[in-house]
Chains A and B, each alone.
Chain A
Amino acid sequence: MPRYLAGRLAQALAVLWAAYTVVFVILHVLPSDPITLQLSAGGADISQLTPTQLHILKDRYGLDDPILTQYFHGLWNALHLDFGMSLTQNVTVGSLITDKVGSTLELTLVALPLMVIGGIGLAYLASYVQWRPARTLLARLPAVGVSLPQFFVGLLLIQAFSFSLHWFPATGEDGWRSLVLPAVTMSLLGAAMLAQLLIRSFADTWREPHIATARAKGLSRGTVQLRHVLRNASLPALTLLGILLGYTVTNAVVVESVFSRDGLGQLAQRAVLGQDVPLVQAIVLIAAAGFVVVNLLVDLLYTLLDPRVAAAARAG
């Protein structure tokens, strides 16, 4: 078990290092430098600067150093969670991220249970209902959820629940009421994907011999579904959930724009538009770290849920 754990941790660190390196390379092979970009955004150009002014600017962002020095310096600083100065916003990247991460975290923490409850609930219902037309309808519903673009769902919800019914505010971040619509929007896609997967796994698991055995032993449909089918079918769903959670920042870009929430997603969007290299780097690393941590947890949960994985981990 400790070896299994150590292996997973080493993998996680390798992924993070790779993420940092890839982002660094991509952002540095781009044929422009942040100073020119910053100046051209304001309609000025580099020729208007005196050499001293240019030197001060370059020095400020460490652009005078050789590329390898920049790479290792950045890596060392990133290990200390120091991502330097934002190029566009005149403050440190760290402070920008600590400012915004709360809003996105709050949104994710509300959206996640909605996603799980919605996904499992729908799949459960679809597999439990016996009447064929209702069963077919329920089984097809997730496809609709998956195909609707998030921004469109968000706008529909705003139109209905803010502008027509006045139940929830359309924008802003004042209290739980402003969290409802964005969280629902954010959870919908994940819930639909989860339901799609579970409906399929439920159907497959029901056909397994051990289910027939369980039924033959006299267990009720409900008990079999809960104890045997759900547990078996939940394994792939857990993997999917890990991936969906990893997409938090990606989803937040859309949802936070539609609902004007000031979180990591909006920050990411602005950073990319403004070519704010250190900020993009930090956000990508945070997203990668989130991905890695969640998937590490999923791997560990596997050993609890699936005796086969646990056995392999013990043996390995």
Chain B
Amino acid sequence: MSTSYRHRTRRRLAAVAVSVLAAVSLAACGSGGGSGSDAAGSGGSQGDKPVPGGRLKIAFWNDLQGCIDPNQVYWIESRSLDRNIADSLTDQDPKTGKIVPWLATSWTVNPQATEFTFKLRTDATFSDGTKVDAAAVKTALDGTRDLGPRSILGVTYLAGYTSTTVVDPSTVKVDFTKPNAGFLQATSTTTLAILSPATYKETPEARCAGKVVGSGEFTLDSYTAAKSAKLTRRAGYAWPSSLVANKGEAYLEGIDVSYIAEDSVRVGSLTNGTIDIAWPRQPISEADQQVLKASGASIETRALPGIAGLLLPNVTGGRPLADLSVRKAVQKALDLPSYAKTLFWDDYPAAKSPLTSSTPYFTDESAKLAHDPTGAAKLLDGAGWALGSDGYRHKADKKLTLTYLTPSPSPGDQLVQDQLKKVGIDLQIKVVTQAQYTPLATAGEYDLVSSYLTRADPSVLGSAIDQAATKQYSAKYSQDAATAARVSALFATGQSTVDPEKRGAAYQELQDYLIDNAVTYPLYDRLQTAGVSKKVNGFAFTSEAFLRANDIWLDR
């Protein structure tokens, strides 16, 4: 009796399992996803006249930093909201990377890139009624500098900042002790957004918790960390960035933000109409994309500009990667297109440079990054690492083992392990807690570590690997003295001029050099994906892949 009952239960369970599997594989077999426009506006019924009204409901995945002050926050979801409550001196064209006017109508930079003069527009006001003038800009830049390490991004953006001078009510001059060509791009970021002078009288804690007043097309009504945020349209707004089509008030009455940690719940909430935009940090999975598309939603994508998903070597003498041939062999062993395809989806872009494809002065290095296991084997043979009977390479009884240190393991790690194994390199994945990670990495107890960072300027790479800019392990161990000197020189050239051609040339040479010397191993481009309901029109990404809500309107 009891046996037959157990039997039946098992059979029934098996039947359920089979049907679930079938459903999952059917969903997975659907055509290759990952489409969507890059950066530009989109929407179902384009060409229609925008209808004002309605509130846009966005769900992000999480809010771990719990801060909304644009000057302090590094959490990209908060910066997406900040982009719509605070304006910046300049804006950056997502297509070309060009810096264009916003609060500043024009600017000049001295040839050494140490002196920046901005001419301000005169009609902009903060939502507390104060004018956006030269004095306000000075208060904002000084205030951000005064935040010191609380503004982790500000520290690098303002490297070498001495002072801002009010030349006249609509002209400011910003001075640096050393060249900082990246500052022009920095003025377009939310980090250097200009807030009302009253804001800087609040404590940094209060600002983080929501006491911020900007001049944006929305005002911040309420913000509860990791729970909700409410934005309301600013009446009379008329000074958008030159990239925005809608020159007046926003079409939306407001924006309601929630945080849903569970992917399936977020996706379900979009398909059942509870929210209009589902915006996770990690790319939306192919299966979820199918579900979203079936409901009529579109998938908007843009690569986060900045440092791509990278591996960085430890070239300290005595370690295997001190040898350039071994370093280059690792590069040739990596199959980047298959990495992108396996981990994400069919037409997910493969990494082509240490910078992501949406970063200004990005150079396509894919020819040098081609998968070449034969070449790798040749290099390793030449370096004295002979293939043993165990499938791994050995030299003087030592196995070719590389230790990859990580606090956040991902399936991609196993894939890299497998790809390296094919040429006889033994990759050991050493997973540690964040608390253990920092001291181990700082002591150089690894052969490979990973890195990435978001900023739409190539100088961002310097904050990870330029020994002149940082003493961090990622810079300290990834290059020997000679390589480091060359790398630092190239970064310095890039920072010392705002001439796009000269900067471009310097950063192209830098990217070539980094690949030729295997200082960085690009692994993947970092895509932002947002599921957008079909009733949302005019969705747009900023250059840094944040939300730009000026042109969004809802079908009613």
A residues in contact (CB < 8 Å) with B: 30-32, 36-37, 39-45, 47-49, 53, 56-57, 88-91, 136, 151, 155, 158-159, 162-163, 166, 169-172, 257-260, 262, 266, 270, 273-275
Decide yes or no: A170 and B205 within 8 Å by CB, A37-B435, A44-B155, A90-B66 being known contacts: no
Other 6 A-B pairs with CB < 8 A, given A88-B66, A158-B265 = A31-B436, A48-B156, A155-B264, A158-B268, A163-B268, A270-B64
- Residues 83-120 of chain B: 1 if any A CB is under 8 Å from the residue's CB, otherwise 0? 00000000000000000000000000000000000000
Decide yes or no: A258 and B148 within 8 Å by CB, A90-B205, A90-B209, A163-B271 being known contacts: no
Distance (whole angstroms) from the CB of B3 to the closest CB of chain A? 12
Residues on A with C-beta less than 8 A from B224 are 262
Residues on B with C-beta less than 8 A from A274 are 64
How many angstroms between the C-alpha atoms of A47 and B156 in the bound complex?
Answer: 12
Tell whether, in the assembled complex, residue A136 and residue B5 are in contact, meaning their CB atoms are under 8 Å apart.
Answer: yes
Tell whether, in the assembled complex, residue A258 and residue B152 are in contact, meaning their CB atoms are under 8 Å apart.
Answer: no
Tell whether, in the assembled complex, residue B65 and residue A88 are in contact, meaning their CB atoms are under 8 Å apart.
Answer: yes
Determine, out of B253-261, B319-327, B508-516, the stretch whose residues face the partner at the interface. B253-261
Decide yes or no: A39 and B435 within 8 Å by CB, A136-B2, A163-B271, A171-B265 being known contacts: no
- Within B190-218, the residues touching A (CB, 8 Å) are 204-205, 208-209
How many angstroms between the C-alpha atoms of A171 and B227 in the bound complex?
Answer: 11
Decide yes or no: A32 and B155 within 8 Å by CB, A90-B208, A171-B269 being known contacts: no
B residues in contact (CB < 8 Å) with A: 2, 5, 59, 62, 64-67, 74, 148-149, 152-153, 155-156, 204-205, 208-209, 224-227, 258-262, 264-265, 268-269, 271-272, 274, 433-439, 453, 463-464, 470-472
Tell whether, in the assembled complex, residue B436 and residue A260 are in contact, meaning their CB atoms are under 8 Å apart.
Answer: no
Would you list 11 pairs from A and B whose C-beta atoms are within 8 A, ordered by A residue?
A32-B438, A40-B434, A47-B470, A48-B155, A49-B148, A170-B274, A171-B260, A172-B258, A257-B262, A260-B258, A270-B64
Instruction: Point out the residue from A36, A43, A90, A170 that lies within 8 Å of B265, measured CB to CB.
Output: A170
Distance (whole angstroms) from the CB of A104 to the closest CB of chain B? 13
- Chain A residue, CB-CB nearest to B439: A31
Instruction: Point out the residue from A32, A44, A155 that lies within 8 Å of B436, measured CB to CB.
Output: A32
Instruction: Point out the residue from B153, B156, B435 that lies within 8 Å of A275, measured CB to CB.
Output: B435
Residues on A with C-beta less than 8 A from B66 are 88-90, 270
Residues on B with C-beta less than 8 A from A30 are 433, 435-436
- Chain A residue, CB-CB nearest to B6: A140
How many angstroms between the C-alpha atoms of A30 and B268 in the bound complex?
Answer: 40
How many angstroms between the C-alpha atoms of A90 and B261 in the bound complex?
Answer: 22
How many angstroms between the C-alpha atoms of A209 and B103 in the bound complex?
Answer: 89
- Chain A residue, CB-CB nearest to B74: A42
Tell whether, in the assembled complex, residue A260 and residue B259 are in contact, meaning their CB atoms are under 8 Å apart.
Answer: yes
How many angstroms between the C-alpha atoms of A48 and B149 in the bound complex?
Answer: 9
Tell whether, in the assembled complex, residue B149 and residue A49 are in contact, meaning their CB atoms are under 8 Å apart.
Answer: yes
How many angstroms between the C-alpha atoms of A275 and B435 in the bound complex?
Answer: 8
How many angstroms between the C-alpha atoms of A89 and B67 in the bound complex?
Answer: 7
Tell whether, in the assembled complex, residue B149 and residue A44 are in contact, meaning their CB atoms are under 8 Å apart.
Answer: yes
Instruction: Point out the residue from B149, B274, B472 that lies within 8 Å of A169, measured CB to CB.
Output: B274
Distance (whole angstroms) from the CB of B95 to the closest CB of chain A? 26
Tell whether, in the assembled complex, residue A257 and residue B264 are in contact, meaning their CB atoms are under 8 Å apart.
Answer: no
Distance (whole angstroms) from the CB of A53 to the closest CB of chain B? 5
Tell whether, in the assembled complex, residue A57 and residue B5 are in contact, meaning their CB atoms are under 8 Å apart.
Answer: no
